[in-house]
Every structure is written in structure tokens, then in C-alpha cells.
A = this chain, B = another copy of it.
Amino acid sequence: MKIAIIGYGNIGKAVEQAVLAAPDMVLSDVYHHNDNLSRIKADVAILCVPTREVPEYAQICVNQGVATVDSFDIHSRIAGLRSELMPLDKAHKTVSIVAAGWDPGSDSVVRSLMQAIAPQGITYTNFGPGRSMGHTVAAKAIEGVHDALSMTIPLGTGVHRRMVYVELEEGADLKRVEKMILKDDYFAHDETHVIAVPSVAALNNVAHGVNLVRSGVSGATHNQRFEFNMTINNPALTGQVMVACARAAVRMKEAGRYGAYTMIELAPIDLLAGEKEDNIRALV
């Protein structure tokens, strides 16, 4: 399978490593953000551009009949992106896998499985500890903030604490910055602590985690308990998930199943390298 990477930031570099490690893939091209994309020579283009630019880049690729994988992560707009790409993929006889990261992505698979095997109940998704990109960007935008890092701390039952580390600009007032952050819509609904530090760079790291918990009912039997935990390097996992989905995209295309799909619409076996029968023997 020939893989192209579009966008070469943290995620693009992680995807490159996962493609190089895959026994059944070759890396055809790495396109930087503003490269000419009029003739992509690959089976799949893995889109590592900022999330808001994903729809545009996906269309450029699909119009050439190239399959795409993205890790579009605005939860409320995933179904919309899928619906937009669906007719385009069908028309060009190709496949797009959307929202293929870890959440949305592999976590969505676990949530779906948990709900299938205990249909009545509550699932809690507890994120972290790890950096939230959205909250970090929001904190950086506050006047008087030179640099910021917003860490998401899981408190259980889907409730999170925000630990916001700020490197202040010369002469900025911590009390005033704190007040602005606490008022911001990103932070107004969660327990939030603002802490001044001499260097945000010294704190930064890409570790993250999740704790997914469900207590539910199978048939008429209550108290069925399920839990999924992970502690991971965030871009490395995102890159690997995208590469696994690139493999699934090729297989769906080969089977003539053109269209746009989320990860919960894929058979897990299609994410795996190797022969189907061997994987069934090893994993079932």
C-alpha cells in the first residue's frame, strides 16, 4: 500500500514512523501544508493538517480517487463530515475514514463495544492527565499570557479539573489573568486552577491517558462492569491509529465498499497487518 502524508507537524511525523514500521506499506510522499496536491500518487492520503482544514484537504484527495484518513476531532461535526464526504467517495469509487484518532477513534470503538454488550447503563469517559490543545490555545489567547499549558485532570464520572500553567508577559497581573481565564467559556464550567510558572516549555510533554468506565445491564442482569485504561504518547498513538485505518481504507476499497466511515463502522480485523486467517487464529 502506497501512503502519502499531508501535513508534517507532530502528527505527520508520528504517522511517518508508523508507516515505516508497517510491513505492508511504503511511504510515497510527504506533502507540506502548502504543497501542490494536484497529482497525489498514493493509495491513501493521511491528512495531518489542522482539524478545521480536514474537509477541504479530504475533498482534494477524494476528487482524485485517493482514499483518505483524518483525525478530525470536533465531536459535534463528525457525522456531518461523514455525510459530506459520503457521496463524493461513492462517486470517485474510494473510501474516507474520518475521526480516526484515539478520541474520537479507538475510544469510540471501546464505547460502542461496551454499549453493545451491556446496552443499558452509563459510560463515563475520563481524560488525562494530559494536555488539552483546545484549552491551551484558549489560555494562550488571554491578554498578558506569554505561553500557557492547560492540563486535563480526570476526577471521575466524566468530570475534569483544569490545571492551567501560565508564563506571564512582563508586567502582567496574575490576578487579572486568572479572572479572565476563569470567565472564558472553555474553563467556566470546570474546576480550574491558574498557576504562574517561569517556563511553560519546561513542563510540556505529550503524555496522555483515558479511563473509560461502564456499569450496565446485560439482558436482565445489572452490575456488569467494564473499564478501559490507557497511558500513552498522544501523537504516537494518533499516528498509529491513522495508519491502521489507512490499511482498512484500502481493504474497504478493494471490497468495493466505497463511502465515508467512522472507526466504529470498520471491522477490527481490517486494521491489522497480515493474513485474515492468521489473525483469527492468533486473536480470537
Contact = CB atoms under 8 A, between A and B. Distances in A.
A83 B20 CA distance: 33
A284 B264 contact: yes
B117 A241 contact: yes
Contacts of A237: 117-118, 218, 224
Interface stretch (A153-161, A163-171, A190-198, A225-233): A225-233
Given A79-B280, A236-B224, A113 B120 contact: no
A284 B224 contact: no
Interface stretch (A40-48, A56-64, A87-95, A271-279): A271-279
Nearest to A277: B79
B218 A226 contact: no
Contacts of A109: 109, 113, 268
Given A218-B232, A284-B104, A284-B262, A271 B21 contact: no
A96 interface: no
Copies of this chain, complex-wide, total: 2
**Most B-side CB within 10 Å, residue of A117, A225, A232, A281:** A117
A240 interface: yes
Contacts of A18: 218-219
B230 A218 contact: no
A217 B239 CA distance: 12
A239 B220 CA distance: 10
Interface string A243-264: 1100000000000000000111
Determine which residue in A20, A119, A219, A281 has the highest number of CB atoms from chain B within 10 A of its CB, and name it: A219
Given A117-B102, A279-B264, A284 B108 contact: yes
Given A21-B120, A120-B21, A269-B112, A219 B231 contact: no
17 contacts: A18-B219, A21-B120, A22-B119, A79-B280, A102-B117, A106-B117, A109-B268, A112-B271, A117-B271, A119-B240, A218-B237, A219-B236, A226-B228, A226-B232, A227-B229, A227-B230, A267-B267
